[in-house]
Amino acid sequence: MNIVIVGAGIGGLTLALMLERVGLAKDLRVYEAARELKPLGVGINMQPHAVQELDYLGLVPALRATSVEAKEFAFFTARGQHVYSEPCGLYAGYGVPHFSVHRGDLQQVLFDAVCERLGENAVVCGHRCAGVEQDADGSDVRFVDPAGLTLPTVRGDIVIAADGIHSAVRKQLYPNEGRPLFHGINMWRGVTRHPPFLTGASVTRIGGLNTTGKIVVYPVRNDVDGAGNQLINWNTEVVTDVASEVDWNGAGRLEDFMPIFEHWRYDWLDVAQLIRDTEFILSFPMVDRDPVDRYAFGRVALMGDAAHPMYPRGGNGGAQAIIDARAISDALLALPPVAALAEYDRIRVPFVSEIVRQNRTAPPDIIIDTVERLTGGARFENIADVIDPAELARMSLAYKQLVRSDLESVGTADAVKGSS
């Protein structure tokens, strides 16, 4: 089967590896718009529901070598008061780890595996998709180079568009959709060399959008300088009417958000100094798109951010792209091409659409938002005087169950050993 994948991001590269895993990658090519793949971006959390798919591809050792294996989720108010913590990954009994990783490192692990298993020519750079056409026997993809000059058309039995939130294929399939939806929150992000804090492997959320702003902080690389310092990812969110450009690598300015975080200095982490010591600042608006009714159109299908761009919360932007790849691969192994893409569509559309909606209203951050709302941002003596900790645990579990990252859905270490 001749398969064309548009986009060499997390979703597209994972799909190539999934198809190789089941013997369907003989005539596969991945076409990428960039002239070359570079380790861009900041951190991403790969929770067990995504890591189990990467484990299926044999990538856990490579990920472990380049990332931080997270030990816990930790929640704090903007005053630095502890609200709730829980173990994650292997420390919570899962059969696979939770990795906090630099997005560029994750993409490099995937790219190296594609080159090793499918050959160095499997990824073709400098090819930006300009549109697709299809007939009863296959699909034709039109490409242009980085200067906009027309390149030869490529034909495949099927085309999978993994070309992100600005997908040319999605624009063709949904021509009246318009720009991504901005909901009044902007993000500023960066990475900083810093000594380990808390457990040295804590995915930490501080503050609530209801009362102030919020920041998510976690390490993505260990001992980056031989002196024990880690590379710490930080991501701030601020309610604002002003949106940045929808560009994952757009530059940001410290003065646009720093006044909110200037006094966030705690005995366990100086947030303000962490931000000021950053290597760079990126700015990106919190955007998504309303869920659509279809990802598959005959011999053409959308996946990842091209299919279901969502708020980047709970690691589910990348995770759901990885799970899309497994769903497409499984369907193509069992069914003829058009029927397989229709089956992928049937399985994934309703499920991921609900995650898109929930990421707007009830992501994992709801734990801190609830406490900040109940206290009005004031200090408290004991969290149990504000809310039953069991209720906080229930909120956490509810989101995990929604995205199927809970222990029952993913499997325990004993269950994994029992199936091996």
> What pLDDT is attached to residue 362?
81
Amino acid 414: pLDDT: 59
* Whether residue 194 sits in one domain with residue 117: no
Dist CA 9 CA 114 (whole Å): 12
Q: Is residue 62 part of a domain?
A: no
User: C-alpha 110: how far from its chain's center?
Assistant: 14
Long-range contacts of 129-133 (CB under 8 A, 24+ apart): 129/6, 129/7, 129/31, 129/33, 129/161, 129/163, 129/168, 129/169, 130/168, 131/168, 131/169, 131/172, 132/159, 132/161, 132/169, 132/172, 132/300
CATH number of the CATH domain containing 273: 3.30.9.30
Judge residue 129's burial from the number of C-beta atoms within 10 Å of its C-beta, 0-12 exposed, 13-18 middle, 19 or more buried: buried
Per-residue pLDDT, 87: 98
Number of domains within the chain: 2
Contact assessment for residue 299 and residue 133, using Cβ atoms and an 8 Å cutoff = no
> Tokens representing 206?
């501080």
Q: What CATH number should be reported for the domain holding residue 136?
A: 3.50.50.60
Instruction: Note whether 95 and 416 are within 8 A (CB).
Output: yes
User: Could you list the mean pLDDT of each consecutive 10-residue stretch along the chain, which spans 420 residues?
Assistant: 96 98 96 88 94 98 97 96 97 97 96 97 97 96 97 98 96 94 92 98 91 91 96 94 82 94 96 96 92 97 97 89 98 98 98 94 88 92 96 95 95 57
Query: What stretches of 267-415 adopt beta strand conformation (E)?
Result: 282-288, 296-297, 300-302
For 319, the token pair is: 């995770």
Q: So what's the pLDDT on residue 398?
A: 94
Instruction: Tokens for 290, please give them.
Output: 């309303």
Domain assignment present for 393 = no
In a domain, 391, yes or no: no
Residues 267 and 189 in one domain: yes
The values of phi and psi at residue 221, to 5°, are -145, 140
**Predicted local distance difference test score (pLDDT) of residue 247:** 80
Q: Provide the residue range defining the domain that includes 329.
A: 2-41+103-179+292-361
